[in-house]
Amino acid sequence: MEQEKVLKIVLRQIKEIQYQADRIFSGDKSSETIKTFSQSSIDLKEYIAQNINDERIRSYLAEIPDVNYSRITVKGWHYAFWPSWFIVLYKNYMAMNKSMEEISIARGKYAHMELFVRELMG
C-alpha cells in the first residue's frame, strides 16, 4: 500500500514537472519559472531516489539532466562600454538556450519515467 501511495505522488509530481516545462516552452521563459522547474526537478529526483526501489527507474534517474540557469545581471558600467553590455546579453542568451535544451531533454525523460511508474502501478 505504501509503495502505491509513493507511486501516485511521483506521478502527480511528474505531471507538474511536465506542466512547468510546457509553460516555459509556451513563452514564460522568466528566470523564476526556469529556476522553479530546476528546483522541482531536483526535488523530484531526490524523492524518487529515496522512495522507489525499482532499479530501472533508479538508473534512468541519472539520465535526467539538471537545469542550471544563472543569468548575469547588467550593471551600470556595462552601459558605458557597449561591447561589455553586448557580451553580457550574449552570455544570457546562450545560458537561456542551454537551459531550454536541458528542459526539453528533462521533459522527454520524465515522460518515459511516467510510463515506467505506470507500469509499476499495474
Under DSSP, is residue 52 helix (H, G, I), strand (E, B) or coil? coil
Q: How far apart are CA 101 and CA 98, in angstroms?
A: 5
Q: What digits encode the pLDDT tens for the residues 15-51? A: 999 999 999 999 988 888 999 999 999 999 999 999 9
Neighbour count for residue 92 (Cβ, 10 Å):
17
Neighbour count for residue 79 (Cβ, 10 Å):
10
* Proportion of the chain above pLDDT 70, given as a percent: 86
pLDDT > 80? residue 100: yes
42-70: b (≥16 Cβ within 10 Å) or e: eebbeebeeebeeeebeeebeebeebebe
pLDDT value at residue 87: 75
DSSP state of 45: H
Q: Average the pLDDT over 58-82 and give the result.
A: 73
pLDDT value at residue 3: 86
